[in-house]
Amino acid sequence: MDDQEITGTPDTGKKKREDVLSGAQRKSRAPLYVLIGCLLFPCLCCAAPLCLVIGGGVTLATVFEHSKASASYTETVDVVPGETIILDVDNRVGDIEIRTGAADDQVIVEYTKTAYAFNKGSARDELDKINVDITSSGQTITIQVEQDSNEDTFLFRANEVNMTITIPSDAEITVENNVGQITLEGVHARALDLQTNTGSITFEGSLRQTGDYNIRTNVGDVTLRLPDGTYIEVDAETDVGEVSVSGFEISNRDEGGSVPGEAWRGTLGDGAESAPTLRVRTNVGDITIERD
């Protein structure tokens, strides 16, 4: 038999080992891919709702901005200088600020009406339906806000009237509001009847020795800052919250109430005659009475 020459590279098993090694490496990477996927998936799940919330918030802000209308006004009522005025305010939604001005012969009412609807034109129509009626009879000034009860909300935004009232120092004041803060600054009150359903009430001023003083809110804090020399009997109570009285000489103190609320009764200051009574009530909120 003739000899045959065989050419080629001998099979040393190297290629087979490389194939086995490559397969092992691919298998070893699989847990890493799974781990990365597990880490990225929750991030994507969290990021998607966040983007939706941010996008929705921007959209709502744009809708609100282009679906509201507002207008501001100023009206002045003349009063007799040196005589106590009687102010009666009846609002539905909006903040009310009452402060003392330099003039003692006039009451200045500044107010801004704001209405919301599905578009700018409808908002202007809504704005025209909000009526702020200011009347006077002698020293009595009445401010009445009227609007249709079935057309005052848009995407849970209520039409509102925010007002700032500047008055002479001495006044008997009645304020009734539904939603909004009530703030009185620098007022020398001879009588008070302040009420809001949802909103805080703040009074900074003095209370005369005669008169009735009643402050009520359903949800909100009540804060009174009274000057040194105040003489008044306090009857304060909250269903959910705390009552704090500080800075005064106190007599006839009586604290109690049921948790989570508190009740506080006592007399601030000292006087020869019987002290007038200050009644403060809130269902949910703190009551703070402190010396200014």
Which domain CATH number covers 247? 2.160.20
Instruction: Quote the pTM value.
Output: 0.77
Q: CB 231: neighbour CB atoms within 10 A?
A: 19
Query: Same domain, yes or no, for 34 and 111?
Result: no
- For position 128, what pLDDT does the model report? 93
Same domain, 105 and 44: no
- Residue 21 banded pLDDT, cuts 50, 70, 90: very low
Name the domain boundary from 23, 45, 65.
65
> Does any domain span residue 8?
no
Tell me: do 252 and 111 sit in the same domain: yes
Same domain, yes or no, for 48 and 136? no
Q: Give domain status of residue 10, yes or no.
A: no
Taking the C-alpha atoms of residue 107 and residue 141, their distance in angstroms, rounded to an integer, is 8
Q: Which domain holds residue 52?
A: 15-65
Give the tens place of pLDDT for each residue, 234-247: 999 999 999 999 99
- Domain membership of residue 9 (yes or no) is no
Enclosing H/E stretch for 55 = helix 14-65
In a domain, 220, yes or no: yes
Q: What is the mean pLDDT of the segment spanning 73-89?
A: 96
Say yes or no: 39 and 137 in one domain: no
SS3 58: helix
Structural domains of the chain, count: 2
* Whole-number percent of the chain with pLDDT over 70: 75
Instruction: Mark whether 23 and 73 lie in a shared domain.
Output: no
End position of a domain, from candidates 65, 95, 124: 65
- Could you tell me if 49 and 146 lie in one domain? no
Token look-up 């000034």 returns 141
* 59 plus 85 within the same structural domain: no
As a whole number, the mean pLDDT across the chain is 84
* pLDDT-based confidence at residue 152 (cuts at 50, 70, 90): very low
The answer as to whether 219 is a domain residue is yes
Dihedral (Cα; 275, 281, 286, 288), 10-degree rounding? -20
Residue 218 lies in a domain: yes
Looking at the domain assignment, is residue 1 inside a domain? no
Q: Is 112 helix (H, G, I), strand (E, B) or coil?
A: strand
Residues 118 and 37 reside in one and the same domain = no
Same structural domain, 33 and 86? no
Residue 21 lies in a domain: yes
124 and 225 part of one domain: yes
135 and 191 share one domain: yes
- pLDDT average, residue stretch 147-164: 72
